[in-house]
Structure 1
């Protein structure tokens, strides 16, 4: 391999922020590292996204304890990726909730994803020795589900494929705030390696239809106010479209994966090269865009071995 993956050498610790995005609603963010969300009800607390390890989850718990002593009853996971789910055991929650499709993806490719992500971005797995194993939900649903934290209503729903086939969002109607997982990002590259480019835009439209007052995105800062929400939805759309269109043109003319890489860089570098994890995501985004453009609807499973083979091919 000519050089290491972009994030293998990323060892700098990120500054944590804990912003209130609505009454009793918080976004735990860390300069482009995976975010978590906190929903405080009358009787208990729901966590959105568990972090990659129990040690990292403890940082979220510490922030929760700075604002409430209510027990953590629910952990909701928007999709199956290791950096989102493997810290779930730390919370001691009564329920761990995923969509049906996300659970199926844990079964199908969860171990491979864990091995792959750990190789690509080791800093995100601080305290990895404390992970007890793959995270499986106690509760799943197909299209939508409502949870009551006392009187506080929380709606969980699948609004379409985007970052993965099984993405869900979490809407708190009394504050009109949504936790979107990695469907929406802010000043952070979208990871599209398991994504569905053709569906992503419609899923963003479905989110926009809520006319939200705030979003806690998957990565990047909290989005407070309708203007910030609209800006982030449109910048996410631009990122996804700017990645897919050049790769699709290359695929249509029979070009190589390396040709697609060069074309996507020419399209995206001028606009997005200063985004968090941009270089980390780019090779996986190009590979998936190239596959989808050639008619591969279900993303191929990433393994540690496939990562290395793809990277060698792109290095030429």
Structure 2
């Protein structure tokens, strides 16, 4: 994979990084740049900051975390004192689960400098919606409901018809279900699709269109229904996995998450 900036709308750029096939966004405006997610470690965040210079050296107006997972927020400290935006529960996740995430990633990726990460939750939080004013354009932040986590947000650039979906949608064989709410995710996904006016940028993989987004939400709906049938005893685990639109391992994780969600 060649990591280069692609302008997918007026002053809206994306760049795919090979590690984790992560997709980072930058939105330009009269008053500066908005950075969508900060990568997983301080060296990776420093690489991102250096790469951003290729976009003209404009000042940073804001950073936005699509959610609180380590690969999207552990680079935050390297962007201070720029204001960092996120959902209120994104900040809570980093404060309450950050140490555990950092320790787990240090074990899993011992060469990736996770021990150096300074946990930095968003400084600017909101519950439902917020707007970033860049002078000549606005960037909108919306919480649509639980899905991949309990704190995912979407970022829209209305004048460019671009939506950043974070990990609510992925251009990958399957979304990540470890902290998910598969039943609620379906309604959240439909709300996301209703907000799509053009290009959708996932947290991982290449951007796609509304049809792709709709198809993935329909797959999530199938999975949620299989989980409900399994929880209700109508089908067995093997049948649920066999009928799933996703591979067996992520399906098994999702089915367990449906069981937990059903008992709330």
Q: Tell me, which stretches of 5 or more residues in structure 2 are unaligned?
A: none
Aligned pair 1:128/2:97, yes or no? no
1:265 to 211, 216, 241: 241
Question: RMSD across aligned C-alpha pairs, in angstroms?
Answer: 2.5
Query: Residue 98 of structure 1 is aligned with which of 86, 108, 118?
Result: 86
From the superposition, tell whether residues 114 and 204 of structure 1 become closer, same or farther in structure 2 (CA, over 3 Å): same
The offset of 1:15, in angstroms, is 4.6
Residue by residue over 1:133-161, the C-alpha shift from the partner in whole angstroms, topping out at 9 and shown as x without a partner, is x2212111111111112322111111111
Q: Which residue of 2 aligns with 1:287?
A: 256
Q: CA separation in 2, counterparts of 1:54 and 1:91?
A: 10
For structure 1, which runs of at least 5 residues remain unmatched after alignment? 1-13, 298-316
Aligned to 2:155: 170
Q: Conserved in 2, the CA contact under 8 Å of 1:169 and 1:180?
A: yes
1:55 matched to 2:35? The reply is no
1:222 aligns with one of 207, 227, 241: 207
What number of residue pairs does the alignment pair up?
Answer: 263
Relative to structure 1, the CA distance from residue 241 to residue 263 in structure 2 (aligned partners, 3 Å threshold; closer, same or farther) is farther
Seen in structure 2, the aligned counterparts of structure 1 residues 116 and 253 have a Cα distance that, compared at 3 Å, is farther
- Matched residue SS, 1:174: helix
Closer, same or farther: CA 207–236 of 1 in aligned 2, 3 Å: same
> 1:170-189 maps to which residues of 2 (within 5 A)?
170-189=155-174
TM normalised by structure 2 equals 0.87
Q: Is the 8 A contact 1:72 1:93 kept in 2?
A: no
TM-score by length of 1: 0.74
1:194 aligned onto 2:179 = yes
Find runs of 4+ consecutive structure 1 residues off by over 6 angstroms.
none
SS of aligned partner of 1:97: strand
CA deviation after TM superposition for structure 1 residue 265, in Å: 3.4
Q: Give 1:283 deviation, angstroms.
A: 4.9
Relative contact order (alpha carbons < 8 A, sep ≥ 6): 1 or 2 greater?
A: 1
